[in-house]
Amino acid sequence: MTSSVPRLVIAAPSSGSGKTTVATGLMAAFAARGLAVSPHKVGPDYIDPGYHALASGRVGRNLDAYLCGPELIGPLFLHGAGGCDIAVVEGVMGLYDGAAGEGELASTAHVAKVLRAPVVLVVDASSQSRSVAALVHGFASWDPQVRVGGVILNKVASDRHEELLREALDSAGVPVLGVLRRVVQVDTPSRHLGLVPVAERRAEAVEAVAAMAAQVSDGCDLEALLGLARSAGALECAAWGAAEALASSPAPPLPVPSPGVAAPGPPLRPEGPRPQTPPEGGPPDGLDCADLGSGVRVAIAGGPAFTFSYAEHAELLTAAGAEVVPFDPLRDEQLPEGTRGLVIGGGFPEVYAAELSANEPLRKAVAALAESGSPVAAECAGLLYLCRELDGRPMCGVLDAGARMSERLTLGYRDAVAVSDSPLAVAGTRMRGHEFHRTVVEPGSGAAPAWGVRSPVRRVEGFVQQGVHASYLHTHWAAEPGVARRFVERCRTS
């Protein structure tokens, strides 16, 4: 199948150059013109897509070649961009920065090549004039397969400064498609893990996005950018779909193995296959995905404290037959009625520890659900919420572990293997994940660990007990659709 959705990749020489301002502003500016805009973010980041969604009116989606594999980048992109007039893809870090030790893998340049998309380079010009030509020339010529189709100059000080920059870039052969001046109101507040999520500052976020749109509309040649987007090459792949992904993924063995049973042998198994491949078994003849989860209600934590979630997770759960119901642990005192499974993703429980702790009825409800053996999948913030305490404040007490803030940032991709059979994976299943936190959980793993991390340091981490799978690792279920199917099947049988 061939598809030619107009698209741009917004990149930069380094972090802090203004990619988010430009990408978000472009999304909002194009949307204001009546275009259907598909927003995307390279890498695992959860926060920028929230601003993208606010700007475009559509769900922000990630394109991560490390977590999902390069082969899924095109299909996932087309899944999000279906029916849209243009797609804007915000890059990550510097244009050529990817997974550590993996060459170009998961870099903005890598994703741009897979998508056959032109790149717009956002350059912080605040402390240079003629040198900007050497910088742009270097980035444009480093990889001949990366097409830098234009430059947007950011933080330009004056008309004279702009004149000097344009004069220098005339010799670089890369057109200037926009010039942005410093505007204080475009700045968005940050804290220990980056920008403050949209869900925590809705009114201010709306104002910030409007300011970005105004700045980009005033300073950029939108017609030229739209024309560049239309020059993107055709993609020779079909759009990803949750139902199709489940249909083509191996089914979980039935019945689901007893929870909390550690796999035999050493804690770090040899590298297993991708995708998940149970040794034997499968659903009985005539049993499809919908049959596996019919009538099963899965609650997903949301609200300001739990904002980290990939849209494909809920889509896969729904395709597996679950009824997905969001709830807010800061406000709701009970889980949604009839909850049979619980997903608690990432976020900032450390910021809301007092409020989460004060909601004792919900903490008790979560503990009771876990004690019943129902499946609970918790990542990072979810792990902290299930602990006995967080910074001295009582949490759900599902795990006999304490959590606290730390000055040390833990950040990076992880290659992991499931150590214990759980509602998410068969022991031996290989998955890739991402860690991003400034907290510590002690102990770091239980009697039945969740994962054996293979890189950068070999270790076990996380907890599997009864129906609980709790870990610091953020994973992308599109890479392993069988995870959602297995989780829903466990909901049905627990």
HSE-up of residue 330 (Cα within 13 Å, Cβ side):
17
**Residue from 84, 220, 237, 380 carrying the catalytic annotation:** 380
Q: Yes or no: say if 53 and 39 are a contact pair by the CB < 8 Å rule.
A: yes
Q: What CA–CA distances, in Å, run from 159 to 18, 123, 131, 181?
A: 20, 17, 18, 10
What is the three-class DSSP state of 478?
helix
Pairing of strands 296-301, 389-390: unpaired
Q: Is residue 387 annotated as part of the catalytic site, yes or no? A: no
- Helix, strand or coil for residue 339? strand
Q: Tell me how far CA of residue 254 lies from CA of 280, 284, 375, 388, 489, in angstroms.
A: 9, 9, 16, 33, 9
**Is the link from the previous residue into 375 a cis peptide, with omega within 30 of 0?**
no
Q: How many CA atoms lie within 13 Å of 174's alpha carbon, on the beta-carbon side?
A: 28
Residue 434 parent element (H or E): strand 430-442
Residue with tokens 């191996």: 250
Beta bridge partners of 154: 124
Maximum pairwise Cα distance, the chain? 74
Instruction: Name the amino acid, one letter, at 72.
Output: L
- DSSP letter at 391 equals T
Tell me the two tokens of residue 303.
């609200």
Active site amino acids: 380
